Amino acid sequence: MAWFRKEKKPREPRRERLEIPPDVWEKCEACGHTDIREKFVRNAHVCPSCDFHRRMRAHEYVGILLDTDSWEETEADLRSVDPLNFPEYPARLKKALGAAGESDAILTATGTMEKMPVNLAVMDFAFMGGSMGSVVGEKIARLGELSLERKFPLVIISASGGARMQEGVLSLMQMAKTAAVLSQLHDRRIPYVSILTNPTTGGVSASYAMLGDAILAEPGAVIGFAGPRVIRQTLGQDLPEGFQTAEFLLDRGMVDQVVHRHQLKKTVGQLLRHMSGKPAAAGWETS
């Protein structure tokens, strides 16, 4: 048999071929840096290359802010209904429930942060653009009431395009409702820290988001009353560079600090200790 006709034995692969499914890669929206998803996740969704703060899900914020295994979700059973028989709303809700895997645009939890008891609400932009309807308002109100009951500080992380128009004026009234709860916390001297993430606009920014005893914002977050698109429309021209970013708001005196996501827990902890008469955390005494 000629050598070229020789039957080849299939060669044994030296090792298992690396199977890389396509969804393992993620690309930074700001700089285009591509990396494996795991690396973004481990870095709290901050781009390892350009420091851009990407959107993060509500449960992930709970993970980086509250002490591990210290917390439990509250009012997880509250569900949105369709009070106005608004066209397509039930279908949109159903789709959001399936896609986002959260029960609504907010997650509320009670737990500890650097061993301090704290009540935390985190909005989830993935659920209908973080829109505020009756459930968002009610969950904040109940968490606020829990804070009044137990004298726990309140922390709210906002990420929202505004009120949920499918619930009409009911959603508008959630602005008044949350403000009413916060005024009670104020009277009882219970600290409230508001954290603004990308984006915080409309009815959310014009209510609890702007009422913190301290207001922090993530770098680069778009924050404003009207969205950039609406303002561009009324102006008929492009907006100045950096308009409505966290850094712009800091410059105009609207927020206390712009804080890197990696520093968020430490900064909130420091603020809460100051405002609730607790001694400094270890490592802060001398600095």
Partner 1 sequence: MGTSALEFEKPIVEIEKQIDELKRMAEEKSMSVDAELAPLVDKLQAMRAEIYRTLTPIQRVQVARSPRRPFTLDYLRLCFTDFIELHGDRAFRDDASIVGGWARLEGETVMVIGHQRGRDTKENLYRNFGMPHPEGYRKALRLMKLAEKFHVPVLTFIDTSGAWAGLGAEERGQSEAIARNLFEMSELAVPIIATVIGEGGSGGALALGVADRVLMLEHSVYSVISVEGCAAILWKDGKSPETREKAASALKITAPDLLELKIIDGIIPEPVGGAHADHAAMAQTLHDVLIENLDELKRLKPEKLIHRRREKFLQMGRYED
CB of 189 to partner 1, least distance (A): 14
How many residues make contact with partner 1 (CB under 8 A)?
A: 61
Residues 146-165 that bind partner 1 (CB under 8 A): 163, 165
Tell me the one-letter amino acid at 205: S
| Closer of 98 and 240 to partner 1 (Cβ) | 240
Question: In this structure, are residues 256 and 214 in contact, taking their beta carbons and an 8 Å threshold?
Answer: yes
Tokens 């690309």 correspond to what residue? 27
Q: State the alpha helices, DSSP H only, in 151-220.
A: 168-187, 202-205
Considering only the stretches 12-20, 58-66, 172-180, 271-279, report the one whose residues sit in contact with partner 1 under the rule CB under 8 A.
172-180
| Site map (CB under 8 A) of partner 1, residues 184-213, x = contact | x-xx--------------xx-xxxxxxx--
- The answer to the question of residue 113 lying near partner 1 (CB under 8 A) is no
Residues 45-104 that bind partner 1 (CB under 8 A): 77-81, 83-84, 86-88
Query: DSSP labels for 2-69?
Result: -GGGPPPPPPPPSSPPP---GGGEEE-TTT--EEEHHHHHHTTTB-TTT--B----HHHHHHHHSPTT
Backbone angles phi, psi at 155, to 5 degrees: -130, 130
CB of 57 to partner 1, least distance (A): 22
- The answer to the question of residue 138 lying near partner 1 (CB under 8 A) is yes
**Among the listed residues 64, 99, 176, 280, the single contact to partner 1 using CB under 8 A:** 176
What is the four-CA torsion angle of 68, 265, 64, 278, rounded to 10 degrees? Answer: 20
Residues 215-244 that bind partner 1 (CB under 8 A): 223-226, 230-231, 234-235, 239-240, 243-244
Question: In this structure, are residues 245 and 224 in contact, taking their beta carbons and an 8 Å threshold?
Answer: no
What tokens appear for 233 in the block?
């429309």
- The answer to the question of residue 119 lying near partner 1 (CB under 8 A) is no
CB of 198 to partner 1, least distance (A): 15
CA–CA separation, 236 and 104 (whole Å): 35
CB of 166 to partner 1, least distance (A): 8
Measured over all CA atoms, what is the biggest interatomic distance in the chain, rounded to whole angstroms? Answer: 97
Residues that bind partner 1 (CB under 8 A): 77-81, 83-84, 86-88, 133-135, 137-138, 141, 163, 165, 167-177, 179-184, 186-187, 202-203, 205-211, 223-226, 230-231, 234-235, 239-240, 243-244, 252-254
